[in-house]
A and B are shown apart, each in its own frame.
Chain A
């Protein structure tokens, strides 16, 4: 089913026909290309400034690959990623050379899933949060220290935490460090790749609240990659449901949950265990998924 990329007037990000294909190699002494896996297959959508778009799907659906292609963490096979810079110019991130891309990277940042593996254990928190400014030569000396302290304060940590190492922090605090590292660049787009998936529910709620506050304060736009539909429900303005590299449905969050159109979206929603014992879940989702493919 073709979905409507729902164009918005003057989008911050406009993804058109984005694809990432991986070659499938044969086994043996001289591997040959025997096919392709279409991890991302002709994905298109728009992101309005200040909006939060949820990208949901099961593992292997291509949601993380899509997010990484947009930030050019991996090279897309085809497609356009039109990004509006703060000065109003638009650039195609997918076709820029690495050299031309580097100065633009500050505008689009990423927060990763695992707050344990995404922070270098040998660097202090201050060095981790300040590193992007150093790499892009945007601040040094006392100014750098001041901006690190201010950003730490803004995400709910204390400036004196900057001399500590990541191991001294809990999962929720580490995720705040990851957010600070993204925020310090004053980006317009933050891609959150399962940013709260590893956290306990109460911590998850706090981190989501923080992200909301920061969004209002800095006019941030989020691309929120998640496998947990429940999280997306209260956090995103619109939701794109991915399956096998394609977006099968993209609609405002309320509509996705109240009146899903695509049969896959309906199945996915029916499999969520409700915390209300009177709302039964669908244990037979496997058979119905198999029917969907027939």
Chain B
């Protein structure tokens, strides 16, 4: 099923997610709306506590109690599975299992916690293939090794049988990316994918995400606090503050000519833009 190009792949409408504590409801995401076009990269940027990660987790329905989506729609227009309102799916519905890891996948900040320490790298990636595609073990292994090669791991065959602790931080993040992309998702959610990495490794991983995105034609929702990463990788940007989107536009428009006072304050706080006080 193909959708006309002008309909967005992901359309979030008035999404609210709250955490129900003893002291009352904390509205972590408070009426957020945005859309992501096919093949584009949208950055959700904000400080810690702004609700950017909760928004991302809400899309994949990964919010744990006492948190819960309290309102809004998350329309996902899959070319393979049709239009789905993710916010309305049942917690244990078949459709949600298909979406997670199959149609939408996620890269987490800390690759060491995203990977199981007691399973080999290859078996963790192959597991995703076996869950979402009708292939046998041998074919899953072949696809895994091919994917490891695509994320720039030179000795992919050897890497298949290694364990996460044998790999460096940059290599682990490549494995996580391979795992996320092996089922050819239509949307990739990357939650601070390079925050834990050195600048040189960050440059490689960001370059890799850009290249693979172009090659596979998926859309990316990039969660970050770093305006540098936004400027270099994203097409569009939404700035979040206290659970709301305060500014939304193309990267060039928002970074070159910020309209909202909060966006301006954030940009002025960047060390590279601060004037040295003598």
Contacts and interface: CB of A to CB of B under 8 A. Distances in A.
B225 A200 contact: yes
Interface stretch (A37-45, A95-103, A270-278): A270-278
A268 interface: yes
Contacts of A289: 200
Contact of B47 (A200, A227, A228): A200
B273 interface: yes
Nearest to A253: B276
A280 interface: yes
B199 A229 contact: yes
Contacts of A212: 277
Given A204-B271, A233-B271, A285-B204, A273 B226 contact: yes
A36 interface: no
A59 B265 CA distance: 30
Contact of B202 (A203, A271, A274, A275): A271
A48 interface: no
A281 B204 CA distance: 11
Interface string B212-232: 000000000000011111111
B272 A200 contact: no
A59 B201 CA distance: 11
B13 to A, nearest CB: 28
B231 A273 contact: yes
B271 A228 contact: yes
Interface stretch (B34-42, B143-151, B248-256): B248-256
Given A201-B269, A201-B270, A227 B198 contact: yes
A29 interface: no
Nearest to A58: B198
A284 interface: yes
B114 interface: no
A175 to B, nearest CB: 14
Interface string A193-220: 0000000111111001100100000000
Nearest to B226: A273
A286 interface: yes
B203 interface: yes
A90 interface: no
B271 A286 contact: no
B70 interface: no
Given A267-B200, A285-B200, A275 B227 contact: yes
A230 interface: yes
B96 interface: no
A202 B226 CA distance: 12
A197 to B, nearest CB: 10
B47 A275 contact: no
A280 B265 contact: no
A277 B231 contact: yes
Nearest to A280: B232
A268 B199 CA distance: 7
A275 B271 contact: no
A282 interface: yes
Contact of B232 (A201, A208, A281, A284): A281
A205 to B, nearest CB: 4
A283 B207 contact: yes
B167 to A, nearest CB: 14
A34 interface: no
B231 A274 contact: yes
Interface string B158-185: 0000000000010000000000000000
B276 A271 contact: no
A273 B207 contact: no
B48 interface: yes
B230 to A, nearest CB: 7
A239 to B, nearest CB: 13
Contact of B203 (A209, A227, A282): A282
A277 to B, nearest CB: 4
Interface of A: 58-59, 171, 200-205, 208-209, 212, 227-231, 233-235, 267-268, 271-277, 280-286, 289
Interface of B: 47-48, 169, 198-204, 206-207, 210, 225-233, 251-252, 255-256, 265-267, 269-277
